[in-house]
Chains A and B, each alone.
Chain A
Amino acid sequence: MRMRLKLKTVFVMYFMVSLLGLIYALMQLGQRCDCRDHGMSKDQQISHLRTELQKLQEHIKTSELKKTDVPKIYVITPTYARLVQKAELTRLTLTFLHVPQLHWIVVEDAPQPTPLVTDFLAASGLTYTHLHKLTPKDRKLQEGDPSWLKPRGAEQRNEGLRWLREMGAAAEGKEAAALEEAVVYFADDDNTYSLQLFEEMRYTYRVSVWPVGLVGGMKFERPVVEDGKVVRFHTGWRPNRPFAMDMAGFAVSLRSVMTNPEARFDGDAQMGFLESSFLQNLVTMDDLEPKADLCTKVLVWHTRTEKPKMKREDALQKQGLGSDPDVEV
Chain B
Amino acid sequence: MPKRRDFLALVLIVVPWTLLLTLWHQRAGNPLLPVPKVNRTGVSKAHQRNFRLHEPCIIKNKHITEVTQMKYVHSRSPPWSDALPTLHVITPTYRRPVQKAELTRLTNTLLHVHNLHWLVVEDAAERTALVSRLLENTGLNYTHLYVETPQNLKVLKKPRNARIPRGTMQRNLALRWLRENINPSSGHKGVVYFADDDNTYSLELFEEMRWTRKASVWPVAFVGGLRYESPKINSQGKVFGWRTVFDPRRPFAIDMAGFAVNLQLIFSKPQAYFKLKGVKGGYQESSFLQDLITLSDLEPKASNCTKVLVWHTRTERPLLVNEGKKGFTNASVEV
The residues of A with any CB-CB pair to B shorter than 8 Å are 2-3, 5-7, 10, 14, 24-25, 28, 31-34, 37-39, 46, 48-49, 52-53, 56-57, 59-60, 64-65, 83-84, 86-88, 90-91, 94-95, 97-100, 192-196, 199, 211, 213-220, 234, 236-237, 296-298, 301-306, 308-313, 315-316, 322-323, 327-329
Contacts and interface: CB of A to CB of B under 8 A. Distances in A.
Nearest to B246: A312
Contact of A10 (B2, B13, B75, B315): B13
Nearest to B223: A308
A305 B316 contact: yes
B202 A53 contact: no
Contacts of B114: 53, 56-57
Given A214-B98, A329-B228, A83 B335 contact: no
A139 B244 CA distance: 38
B55 interface: no
B219 A327 contact: yes
Contact of B37 (A32, A87, A217): A32
Contacts of A306: 313-316
Contact of A310 (B10, B34, B227): B227
A48 B82 CA distance: 13
Contacts of A327: 219, 227-228, 306-308
Given A195-B108, A301-B101, A87 B74 contact: no
B67 interface: no
A57 B77 CA distance: 11
Interface residues of B, number: 81
Contact of B9 (A10, A98, A312, A322): A10
B56 to A, nearest CB: 25
Given A53-B207, A192-B104, A301 B98 contact: yes
B112 A38 contact: no
B33 interface: yes
Contact of A305 (B75, B79, B314): B314
B126 interface: no
A323 B37 contact: no
A306 B312 CA distance: 10
Given A32-B37, A195-B108, A214-B98, A312 B318 contact: no
A214 B72 contact: no
B81 A52 contact: yes
Contacts of B105: 91, 94-95, 192-193
Contacts of A49: 83-84
